[in-house]
Amino acid sequence: MPFDLPHLPVSEKLADLAEALGRENRAVLSAPPGAGKTTLVPLHLLDQPWRGDGRIVLLEPRRLAARAAAGRMANLIGEGVGDTVGYRMRLDNRVSARTRIEVVTEGVFARMILDDPELQGVAAVLFDEFHERSLDADFGLALALDAQAALRPDLRILVMSATLDIERVATLLDNPPVIVSEGRSFPIEIRHQDRPGGTRIEDAVTSAIKGALDQETGSILAFLPGQAEIRRVAERLQDRVNASTHVAPLYGNLSQKEQDEAIRPAPAGTRKVVLATSIAETSITIDGVRIVIDSGLQRLPVFEPSTGITRLETVRVSRASADQRAGRAGRTEPGIAIRLWHQGQTAALPAFTPPEILASDLSNLVLDMAHWGVLEPHGLRFIDPPPVAAWNEARILLQTLGALDQTGALTGKGRSMRDLALPARLSAMVLTAAENGQAAEAARLAVLLTEQGLGGTSLDIDERLRRFEQEKSERASGARRLAERIADGLRSARPQGMHTSAGRLLIYAYPDRIALSRGARGRFVMANGRGAEIEETERLAGSQMLVIADLTGQAARGRVLAAAEIRRDDVEERMPGAIRTADECFFDPASRQVRARRTTRLGAIVFDETPLPKPGGAEAARALADGVRQLGLSALPFSKTGEQLRQRIGFLYRSMGEPWPDMGDDALLARLEDWFIPFQTNVRSLADITPGSLFDGLLSLVPPALQRDLDRFAPTHFTAPTGQSHPIRYDGDEPTLSIRVQELFGLKTHPSVGGGRLPLLLELTSPAHRPIQTTRDLPGFWAGSWKDVRSDMRGRYPKHPWPENPADAAPTTRAKPRGT
């Protein structure tokens, strides 16, 4: 099936690549932007004998890139999309029985291989733009490697990228052939325009665009961090460009028609300014663009496992992304890349964008891995394994939703959830709603929440649902058809229930994000204890209760992005038994006392409370322990003796290890049940705690057999040759004794603790208690530097003895007798 393909830089390496994949079943291709790898490699591999009649599956990171790649390949061979070359994505498929190159989004491939581990009819899987390191791409590669090793040794795997950490990828693939294509189609001139401090990025980009329009020819592609910045730049450009210049936004929430319009060549005699997010970094060619303006910023999602919140952070791009962006200028002719930062700052940029797997909600990954039979994060071969904390949080969530059993294995409900191909929470919602005859409504709500921009951008989900029902766009129609397919597979014999609100359905997905007004407009507390805020001008800001589907920002003050109203009786109906009335004993930080109350609550949300008499005994002691955890050990009234005991035992732990107990703050806070609670009887506030009870509690941590050795190994005092007792300090890195040097005369061995094994640090002082020397070797000091000390001190303190041989002199605490 030979084709007359254009000659691009990667053309020189196509024969080497085909030979490598014919010889081995894995390879890596590194080629810069504009080299032609996305389109030429799949077409060239069609003619390889090892392919047989098998399909070539090409993975792209985004729908826009997948459609563009398929369209360009089909155009090169003079066919329509859906013939030899087709594409497959969530809401749009263009494939046929004739299709042999199938361009798919990375999430679709993961679903393909999970449903068919043998990948029947597939000869090769090509991971394009792998440097973006999306979670789906990492997971897809891990699955492909596992399937190749166990089921399909004939499957070819090729990893391709313009900017790639080749060494790590090659190591993961057991060092296969690495093909490197140098050069690009056309040269690119890199320019830098440093953005002055305090200048908004929108103003800097607008100024750079205007300058480029005035001084250069050709269309412009400007990279901005997000949709809001794109909108503001577009507004600034309205009155600053002429009628022959078209400004087009390009970001993920746009319809397919709007995205296609952005990448379509400008009509003859006109220019185009495309304002894009990182969506335009890879695999697309915008004909006519010869100028790239790079803000140097990108917006990345960061997931916090402890809160379940994904927030967006605006960060500097990586050097790899900056190179990728610049490469967009040299696709069809010599170009210019204008970077809005000082040239010297480029070296300080991170080498690569952080892999998505390190900062993502892993609930669907854990669910899919359980389906694959892998129950631990290291069970598959990842370049960067899933973080343990995020893995554990995802596993807990899935167990709460009933998708996993206590061993982490998939349950029957978990298999049904995975079949829906929705985020785990929404899958659980749809399944539960289907049991109540509301599968269709729940499916539409789930699809709405997974397709950004459908139904508008209102944070009121009911309002977005109403708009979604009325939308006439192809994307909305496709989304409704997808919802119908989901619902059709779930309809039960139970009749359809009456129409219900979005909030009543979302209770099944986000029970931990049910929120109650704090009293102030727009301020809420969620059942998980986190705060949430809505702009006061929003209608939902006046709601009494909400269920929050999406929010961002810091845990204490998350900003609500999508929510729906509910009532308390909705929760009682949908979550029977979740709202509970119980007597509670708690620590009040304001009064530093233990209090009691009868509460009716849902998690951290308190609906009603009634004060009760102050408790005592173990219950109060446990509440006080909670207070100590909140305030820290400094809130406890340790005596000087108690502090010294803690320091002594801590020294023995650091120097000898267990069974001497750790006395650090974290260790003691973790063991309050052992040493604090049992010794607090009849106390109701921090003021009631006695220093003696703390001393006894600390001592109880020392095993009884060691308690008698405490004074021997870590004595509180040192008895000098004069008979005087001096305290030993254990508050530093080593035990320290401060003593006047005359009191050690006649001592021929160095003082020690720890049963004679650990020397004291001696701080030798003058008769006026001023430091003159520190030593860990007293005999060496007598024989060495004493001579210099004696020479200096005799003149300052003539009334005190300064013998030539202090090791043989009598110790003293007094001055010399008169007349001597």
Identify the bridge partners of residue 436 per DSSP, sorted by sequence position: none
Asked whether residue 333 is assigned to any structural domain, the reply reads yes
| Residue 609 lies inside a defined structural domain of this protein | no
Could you tell me if 175 and 192 lie in one domain?
no
Answer with the one of 180, 211, 228 that is the final residue of a domain: 180
Task: Kindly state the tokens that stand for 94.
Answer: 């263009």
- Report pLDDT for 493: 45
Q: 774: which residues sit within 8 A by CB, 6+ positions away?
A: 761, 762, 763, 764
Q: Where does residue 299 rank: exposed (0-12), middle (13-18), buried (19+ CB within 10 A)?
A: middle
d(Cα 772, Cα 749) in Å, to the nearest integer? 20
Q: Which of 120, 130, 178, 128 is nearest to 154 (CA)?
A: 120
Cα separation, 71 vs 68, whole angstroms = 5
Q: Is residue 655 part of a domain?
A: no
Dig out the tokens for 299 from the structure: 């917006």
Please report, for residues 34, 179, 220, 239, the alpha-carbon distance to residue 333 in angstroms, rounded to integers and kept in the order given.
Answer: 10, 25, 13, 29
Q: How many angstroms separate the most distant Cα atoms in the chain?
A: 119
For residue 643, the surrounding DSSP H or E stretch is: helix 640-656
- Please state the domain count of the chain: 4
- Domain coverage including residue 306: 188-357
- Return the percent helix, strand and coil in the chain, to nearest 5: 40, 20, 40
Is the CB of residue 102 less than 8 Å from the CB of residue 55?
A: yes
Would you say residue 439 lies in a domain? Answer: yes
Beta bridge partners of 719: 725
Structure tokens at 461: 């989900």
Domain presence at residue 544: no
The vertex-365 CA angle with 362 and 368, nearest 5°, equals: 150
- What pLDDT shows up at residue 268? 87
89 and 217 both lie in a single domain: no
353 with 400, same domain: the answer is: no
Residues 175 and 214 in one domain: no
User: Do both 332 and 250 map to the same domain?
Assistant: yes
Taken in order 131, 137, 139, 140, is the CA torsion positive or negative? negative
Specify which residues 599 forms β-bridges with. Answer: 582, 609
Residues 436/497, Cβ–Cβ less than 8 Å = yes
Domain harbouring 483, CATH code:
1.20.120.1080
Residue by residue, DSSP assigns 67-132 as HHHHHHHHHHTT--TTSSEEEEETTEEE--TT--EEEEEHHHHHHHHHH-TT-TTEEEEEETTGGG
Cβ atoms < 10 Å from Cβ of 345: 13
Element (H, E) at 793: helix 786-796
pLDDT score at 4: 81
Let me know whether 150 and 198 are in one domain.
no
Kindly list the distances between the CA atom of residue 364 and the CA atoms of 1, 138, 415, 644, in Å, as whole numbers in the listed order. 40, 14, 12, 52
695 found inside a domain: no
The whole-angstrom separation of Cα 68 and Cα 62 is: 10
pLDDT for position 555: 60
pLDDT value of position 55: 97
* Phi, psi for 439 (deg, rounded to 5): -65, -40
How confident is the model at residue 2, as a pLDDT? 58
Which of 662, 631, 635, 634 minimizes the C-alpha distance to 649? Answer: 662
Q: Counting beta carbons within 10 angstroms of the beta carbon of residue 220, is it exposed (0 to 12), middle (13 to 18) or buried (19 or more)?
A: buried
Examine the domain organization and report whether 132 and 227 are in the same domain: no
Residue-by-residue DSSP string for 273-327:
EEEE-GGGSSS---TTEEEEEE-SEEEEEEEETTTTEEEEEEEEPPHHHHHHHHH
What secondary structure does DSSP assign to 201-239, as a single string?
A: HHHHHHHHHHHHHHH--SEEEEE-SSHHHHHHHHHHHTT
Q: Counting every residue, how long is the chain?
A: 820
Q: Are residues 348 and 404 in the same domain?
A: no
User: Does residue 328 share a domain with residue 420?
Assistant: no
**pTM to 2 decimal places:** 0.75
Residue 184: per-residue pLDDT: 64
Contact 201, 195 (CB under 8 A): yes
Strands 761-765, 514-517: pairing is unpaired
pLDDT lower than 70: segments of the chain? 1-2, 163-164, 183-185, 283, 306-307, 491-498, 554-556, 817-820
Q: Which of 486, 415, 498, 411 is nearest to 450 (CA)?
A: 486
Distance between terminal CA atoms of the chain? 116
Residues 327 and 398 placed together within one structural domain of the fold? no
CB 750 within 8 A of CB 776: yes
Q: Look at residue 274 in the predicted model and tell me its pLDDT.
A: 93
d(CA 169, CA 164) in angstroms, rounded, equals 8
The per-residue pLDDT for 635 is 94
Find, among 270, 285, 166, the residue nearest to 219 by Cα. Answer: 270
Calpha distance 6→75 (Å, rounded): 12
Same domain, 137 and 77: yes
Q: How confident is the model at residue 187, as a pLDDT?
A: 87
- 21, exposed or middle or buried, with CB in 10 Å at 0-12, 13-18, 19+? buried
- In single-letter form, the type of residue at position 17 comes to L
Omega within 30 of 0 (cis) for the link into 798: no
- For residue 708, the model assigns a pLDDT of 87
Side-chain half-sphere CA neighbours of 698 within 13 A: 26
Helix (H, G, I), strand (E, B) or coil at 531: strand
Neighbours of 816 (CB within 10 A): 13
* Positive/negative CA dihedral, 808, 814, 817, 820: positive
Does any domain span residue 749? yes
H helix intervals, 353-493: 363-372, 388-400, 412-419, 424-435, 439-450, 461-470, 474-488
| pLDDT at residue 818, rounded to an integer | 56
| Cβ pair 514, 602 in contact under 8 A | yes
Q: Which residues contact 192 (CB under 8 A, 6 or more apart)?
A: 338, 339, 340, 341, 342, 343
CATH of the domain at 44: 3.40.50.300
Alpha carbon distance 292, 337 (integer Å)? 5
Are residues 174 and 144 part of one domain?
yes
* Pairing mode, strands 545-552 and 605-612: unpaired
Please list, residue by residue across 161-176, b when 16 or more beta carbons sit within 10 angstroms of its beta carbon and e when fewer do: bbbbbbeebbebbeeb
Last residue of one domain, picked from the residues 462, 485, 502: 502
Whether residue 818 is contained in a domain is answered as no
d(CA 374, CA 379): 6
State the virtual CA torsion across 84, 87, 92, 97 in degrees, nearest 10: 40
Q: Select from 180, 208, 229 the last residue of a domain.
A: 180
3-state secondary structure of 459: coil
- Cα separation, 816 vs 810, in Å, equals 12
- Find tokens 């829906």 and name the residue: 420
688 alpha carbon, distance to own chain's centre: 43
- Tokens 């929430």, residue located: 253
